Amino acid sequence: MAKGEKRSAARLGAVQALYQMDLTGAGIADVFAEFESHWLGKEVEGHAYKPAEAAFFRAIVSGVLDHQRALDQIIDKTLAAGWPLRRVEAILRAILRAGAFEIIHRRDIPAKVIISEYADVASAFFERDEVGLANAVLDTIARGQREDELKTRVG
């Protein structure tokens, strides 16, 4: 399996782990143990989960937790007025946090790749509107954080 596919699976797993932590209050050590032993690369209830790059999965989850307050502030400023992050559905909140974390803290990965990957993750859970929202929010964050990288080249 290619590195890109393992990273895609790690992103999906990270979003699911963040969602679970948000809903249940589970700790990071418990979530890492559960996902690495029972989900990533396993079959659960008839669904096969692709092998994931475990170090990348851990980096996203721990990075979001380490920077969550700052990430939430940036996402809040990007969302429509009157619609704070706490009002966003929990899985979409996890997608936005993970995507924002990568955009801001993983400059080794092109912003367009990150945005596309998290739009794909969103499409695994939602219809078009939520996927569009995730794409728009992450694109706006990327343009604010990586202006030079995302400038349109003319001529």
Q: Which amino acid is at 81?
A: A
Contact 12, 121 (CB under 8 A): yes
Is residue 40 one of the residues assigned to a domain? yes
Look up the CATH number of the domain holding residue 46.
1.10.940.10
pTM equals 0.88
The domain in which residue 58 lies consists of 3-150
Is residue 155 one of the residues assigned to a domain? no
The pLDDT tens digits along the chain (155 residues) read 576 788 888 899 899 999 999 999 989 898 888 777 766 655 555 555 566 778 899 999 999 999 999 999 999 999 876 677 778 889 999 999 999 999 999 999 999 999 999 999 999 999 888 899 999 999 999 999 998 887 754 44
Is residue 49 one of the residues assigned to a domain? yes
Count of domains in the chain? 1
Is residue 61 one of the residues assigned to a domain? yes
Closest to 133 in 3D by CA, of 79, 85, 69: 79
DSSP string over 100-145: HHHHHH-TTS-HHHHHHHHHHHHHHH--HHHHHHHHHHHHHHHHHH
The region, left, alpha or beta by phi > 0 then psi within -120 to 50, assigned to residue 46 is left
